[in-house]
Chains A and B, each alone.
Chain A
Amino acid sequence: MTATIIPRAGAAHARILGVGGYRPARIVPNSELVDRIDSSDEWIQSRSGIRTRRWASPEETVAEMSIAAAGKALAHAGLDASQVGCVIVSTVTHLKQTPAIATEIAHRLGAGGGRAAAFDVSAACAGFCYGVSLASDMVRGGSAEYVLVIGVERLSDLTNLSDRGTAFIFGDGAGAVVIGPSNTPGIGPVVWGSDGSQSEAITQTIDWNDLRDDREQEFPTLKMEGQKVFRWAVWEMAKVCEQALDAAGVKAEDLDAFIPHQANMRITDAMIKALKLPPEVPVARDIAENGNTSAASIPLAMERMLESGEAVSGGTALIMGFGAGLVYAGQVITLP
């Protein structure tokens, strides 16, 4: 006999209730990097829009940065960690295969009294938007009332400082949001996907296996086919942005902020052009000072726009992440 299973009811809607970021103390200007790649500050700025990035110290671990960002997000939301039912951490630079770093973070925060569900997601620079989608569904599905979504990276650990294509791109940091119930829709339908045929476009140079088998090999770093990624990120992702707007029934001119993953200022500028985004819509440009922080870049940029007054709480924003996989995800949100 098939027993009747009682489903759990969730909230009618979900929204982002708070955001917080952690930026490492050490600011690294272009001038520190130019010698090894035979370059100049001007060259780096013209190709990426990046003036500085921040690199974490040994003490600014993935867990420490996450806890700091999460604490700010919880305070912004007016919530206590004990109310959090799930912690999702998106990172590609927690260099320990198992266990997930989310469990340590949940434990140290006291999330759900130290018993919150906790796991990591690996979706590179789209990881934050993947996490927002999962969290929104959890809140609406009743799996958790409040969910912490953390994007955190120490990309400096996987950067080849002699690679002219990537040495100046990456930075470190953490950004977090708390997602919970809402009376009105605050997170639009996600438009997401992957393209594994381009898995080599952004990838780690060698597997951990290769390093195990040949200790003479150089430690893995990130490598990227710049032109291929640029074309995909600008023209394919512009279409995804349009789909995310359509799915939410929001027009580009209704946006109070556009917060794309901070990959490269040139990608952002070309994407705005391809999207025909109205010039009055404020666009996140955190990359100039923070570099590309992968999963952390969107919440960090969101926090900066809210703190600087470029965007306001309750405003409508389009967030859009894209990166190694290739993977992408975008959704319209109400700003916390």
Chain B
Amino acid sequence: MASQEQVLEGLADIVNEIAGVPQDEVELDKSFIDDLDVDSLSMVEVVVAAEEKFEVKIPDDDVKGLKTVRDAVDYIVKAAA
């Protein structure tokens, strides 16, 4: 089972690869769109990469609810439990 720190670290790598954001800027309270400049389509790329990395399913209808890094980390931790 992945911890919050592990998921955050893995997610930061993904966001870095897809959107070019430095890993240390991917912090829990950051908004994907407003703070990290991850737009709605890049968000889908992040979600698909996260599904693969953490072996979870994140349905389309749930993607809209993932506004902040914390939303995504919590979702993944819960889904992977």
Contacts and interface: CB of A to CB of B under 8 A. Distances in A.
A102 B41 CA distance: 37
A47 B64 CA distance: 17
A227 B60 contact: yes
A226 interface: yes
Contact of A235 (B40, B43, B48): B48
Contacts, number: 28
Contacts of A266: 41
B53 to A, nearest CB: 15
Contacts of A219: none
Contacts of B48: 231, 234-235
B74 interface: no
A119 interface: no
Given A231-B60, A235-B48, A226 B40 contact: yes
Interface centre among B39, B41, B60, B63 (most CB of A within 10 A): B41
B39 A231 contact: no
Interface residues of A, number: 13
Interface residues of B, number: 11
A230 B39 CA distance: 12
A47 B39 CA distance: 8
A250 interface: no
Q: Most chain-A Cβ atoms within 10 A of its Cβ — which of B40, B47, B48, B60?
A: B60
B43 A227 contact: yes
A228 interface: yes
A53 B48 CA distance: 30
Contacts of B39: 46-47
B71 interface: no
B65 to A, nearest CB: 12
A227 B40 contact: yes
24 contacts: A46-B39, A47-B39, A47-B41, A225-B60, A226-B40, A226-B41, A227-B40, A227-B41, A227-B43, A227-B44, A227-B60, A227-B63, A228-B60, A230-B44, A231-B44, A231-B47, A231-B48, A231-B60, A234-B44, A234-B48, A264-B41, A266-B41, A270-B41, A270-B45
